[in-house]
Amino acid sequence: MNNPGNSLYSEIEWIGKNGFDFIDITTELPGVDIEKINVGKVKSLLKKYKLGVVGHTAWYHAFRDPQRLVREAATKVLKKEIQFLGRVGSKNANVHLMPLYRFFSVKDGIKFYSDVLKEASKFARKLGMVMMVEHIAGSRSQFDLLQGLFKKVPDLKFHLDVGHANLETKGNKTKEFLRKFSKKLEHIHMSDNDGTDDQHLPLGAGNINWKGIVNLLKKYKYDGTITLEIFSKKSHLINSKNKFKKLWKSVR
């Protein structure tokens, strides 16, 4: 994934030169300003390095806001991001399921997010794309929210984040997420942490059992894209890539 603190062009160059198959483009400021970005330049860099694209929209939009007008404004921005991602070759785009504000129930959350996601999915479908929903932490309400959203927005896909499944929980919840939503699974994020915070550490630097995770993914015959969402030194990212490839090959 491009580091949103840097220019997208230089991030594509680095990712392309270092042997990755695709880039997970996050349309986050300050690195990616969709009002100003040069789509042609992005496309030609992706072509130069033969990189595929996975779509990641800005996590900070106010989709959980109780005010309808605020959610509508956020949806407008989201559509622009989806359009940009489609133009540079992505077939999907995610939305993050943030914790709800106090005094609001899971039912309220399903209403807020499904309003946004129904509209976004319709828009994405016209561009030949699908929307995915990424869970943020492993708490019980996230399962209920996801379940409700998949019911209300049938073509919505699931975006698993193994690092997030390690938060607010005893033990990693990847197994539970897969048991409930494996049929909807579209894309996966991986990074390590010690369970206290979303630290985006290299694989092996936190307490996640990566061999166990790979075993699970093989059990479900997952054959899709995986992003290493690691925001420390670039050399750590390369080490994690090599380590993961080795692990993937070693597990049958």
Complex with Zn ion: residue 45 or 81, whichever CB lies closer = 81
**Contact call for residue 135 and Zn ion (CB under 5 A):** no
For 192, the token pair is 């390590």
Closest Cα to residue 120, out of 160, 86, 164, 146? 86
Task: Tell me the window of 10-18, 175-183, 187-195, 200-208 that interacts with Zn ion (CB under 5 A).
Answer: 187-195
Residue with the shortest CB distance to Zn ion: 189
The correct pick among 61, 64, 189, 241 for binding Zn ion (CB under 5 A) is 189
- CA–CA separation, 190 and 210 (whole Å): 10
List Cβ neighbours of 3 (8 Å cut-off, separation of 6 or more): 11, 31, 231
Please identify, using beta-carbon distances, which residue of 119 and 134 lies nearer to Zn ion. Answer: 134
Beta bridge partners of 96: 134
Binding residue for Zn ion, selected from 24, 161, 186, 192, defined by CB under 5 A: 161
C-beta of residue 201 within 8 angstroms of C-beta of residue 230: yes
Distance in angstroms (rounded) separating the CA atoms of residues 192 and 58: 21
Q: Is 204 left (phi over 0), alpha (psi -120 to 50) or beta?
A: left
Question: 28-67: which residues touch Zn ion (CB under 5 A)?
Answer: none
Q: Which stretch binds Zn ion (CB under 5 A): 18-26, 65-73, 171-179, 183-191?
A: 183-191
- Span from 42-50, 63-71, 75-83, 185-193 in contact with Zn ion (CB under 5 A): 185-193
As a whole number of angstroms, the distance between CA 245 and CA 138 comes to 26
Min. distance of Cβ 189 from Zn ion in angstroms? 3
Least Å distance between CB 48 and Zn ion? 27
Binding site for Zn ion (CB under 5 A): 161, 189, 229
